Structure 1
Amino acid sequence: MSNLYLDESLSANDLAVGASVALTGDEARHAATVSRLRSGESVLLGNGSGVQATCEVTGVENKRVDLTVVSVAQHPLEEFRLVLVQALAKGDRDERAVQAAVEVGVDAVLPWQAERSVSRWSGDKIEKGVVRWQKVVREATKQSLRAWTPDVLPPESTASLLTHTGHDRVLILEPTAKKRLSDLTRAEIEPVDPRGSVLVLVGPEGGVSEKELSVLTEAGALPVRLGESVLRTSTAGPVALALINVALGRW
């Protein structure tokens, strides 16, 4: 089974075994015209909030696919969230980072207006940027068959990121850092507060500025490096998240 379709309006009750569900809109059009589903085939249907159902296709039209729920799996949330704090970058480099981060298991992404970000979000661009990232996240969720669709959080500045250091674990990816991320223990990665999150900060093309690195470190953030080579802003975050998943036993 290689196709996951999402309908965020569905509740757990809607996806009970034996229930009939009608897939409509863009999801139905994709299923009918791109995936070319046929009656009798099996697909995965989720609500993006932890519930996934294996369904049998019972009817296909251009704008409607009828399904019958065969089995249901409920996936609980992880103990705490992994959050990619991705600096805005030119082109689609930040979006590529977000896409890969979702595939490797991030729980939320947070746009960061870093000092050296070439791309700037202001005015109407803020809402448009968030919507664009939400689309990237949703598509990556479907591609990787994830049960939970990661959140796209409101953009933050460096100053507002300082408020996270009191309860969240904040890790800054910095090529000159003395500590390697792969050397951190689980205790060094877990949130300061059990109710907090693990934030992985990735700078833009020009990197995290000395001023940003200084104020964040003084506030309690921990600079870490990945290795001897310097990765692109579109690559560093997903690589770091993969290492953290191993250290936390999620992989």
Structure 2
Amino acid sequence: MAATVFYLDDIPEPGSIAVLDGPEGRHAATVRRTRVGEPITLSDGRGLLAESEVVAAQKDRLELRVDNRVLAAPATPRVTVVQALPKSDRSELAVELMTEAGADAITPWQASRCIANWEGKAGKAVDKWRAAARAAARQSRRAYIPEVADLHRTRELLEAIRKVVDSGGLVVTLHESGTARFVELPFAEAAEIMLIVGPEGGLDDSELTAFADAGAVVTLLGPTVLRTSTAAAVALGALGALTPRW
């Protein structure tokens, strides 16, 4: 595959012409200065990849001949990161890092000790996270753009935890009070994995208890306390080595 990846919702059959316009087309044509004859990998963000060649270029639009298409297998087990809302200056950074590290899905969570509060602006904030995930997926040449869910409250998160546990998945709450060690958990045997990352102020005791009662394992990731914006990326890196994902 070519090095540069751009996203197009509907990729035509090989031999057809694909049109890349809108924000992706502007980025490809203006920011990346892509020219006629250059190879580009197209992706629909849902696993489909296509090798293509630029046959026409304008300032905000490219026309590409699709040469072939292939469906990339998703990483297994699937990993969802539940991210307590970081402070605004680190919010999108957290999304970028976990996307580059391989998160399959991202759930923003309004924890009780979050400094950030999305009340009245959740829709706009989620859109920013989705845009950040898309840009980071392009940068890291991913065939799959992580799904960013709507904002979850603790009640909704508890329902999601129970659903994962009931389906044979493993839910891990990353916290310094954990007695279980991250590297010793049976990740490779799990149907899916959910990682819960708390806020800067830490998880409330009632949240820890509720998560454990719902089936989550409170786990110590490592010997140091990490920022909420980087903890998911570190955990995902460890998962890559502990499971068949890498």
Does 1:146 find its partner at 2:142?
A: yes
- Matched residue, 1:217: 212
The answer to whether the 8 A contact 2:30-2:60 is kept is: no
Alpha-carbon distance between aligned partners in 2 of 1:142 and 1:48, rounded to the nearest angstrom: 9
The answer to whether the 8 A contact 1:87-1:94 is kept is: no
- Matched residue, 2:190: 190
- Matched residue, 1:73: 70
Alpha-carbon distance between aligned partners in 1 of 2:77 and 2:223, rounded to the nearest angstrom: 30
The offset of 1:35, in angstroms, is: 1.1
From 216, 219, 237, the counterpart of 2:232: 237
**Secondary structure of the residue that 2:88 maps to in structure 1?**
coil
- Matched residue, 2:39: 42
Q: Letter of the 1:134 partner, please give it.
A: R
The answer to whether the 8 A contact 2:76-2:245 is kept is: no
Q: How does 1:1-251 map to 2 (within 5 A)?
A: 1-8=2-9, 10-11=10-11, 14=12, 16-123=13-120, 125-168=121-164, 169-186=170-187, 190-191=190-191, 197-251=192-246
**Secondary structure of the residue that 2:99 maps to in structure 1?**
helix
Per the normalisation by structure 2, the TM-score is 0.92
The answer to whether the 8 A contact 1:164-1:170 is kept is: no
Q: Deviations over 1:173-224 (max 9, x none)?
A: 001211111122335x614xxxxx4210000101111111112112211011
Unaligned runs of 5+ in 1: 192-196
Q: Deviations over 1:126-180 (max 9, x none)?
A: 1011111110011011111111111111111222222233331211000121111
Per the normalisation by structure 1, the TM-score is 0.90
**Secondary structure of the residue that 1:147 maps to in structure 2?**
coil
Alpha-carbon distance between aligned partners in 2 of 1:52 and 1:153, rounded to the nearest angstrom: 24
**Secondary structure of the residue that 1:44 maps to in structure 2?**
strand
The answer to whether the 8 A contact 2:76-2:244 is kept is: no
The answer to whether the 8 A contact 2:134-2:145 is kept is: yes
The answer to whether the 8 A contact 2:195-2:232 is kept is: yes
The offset of 1:25, in angstroms, is: 1.7
**Secondary structure of the residue that 2:54 maps to in structure 1?**
strand
**Secondary structure of the residue that 1:165 maps to in structure 2?**
helix
**Secondary structure of the residue that 1:117 maps to in structure 2?**
coil
The answer to whether the 8 A contact 1:94-1:233 is kept is: no
**Secondary structure of the residue that 1:167 maps to in structure 2?**
helix
Identity of aligned residues (%): 38
**Secondary structure of the residue that 2:196 maps to in structure 1?**
strand
Higher mean displacement: 38-47 or 69-78: 69-78
The CA RMSD over aligned residues, in Å, is 1.6
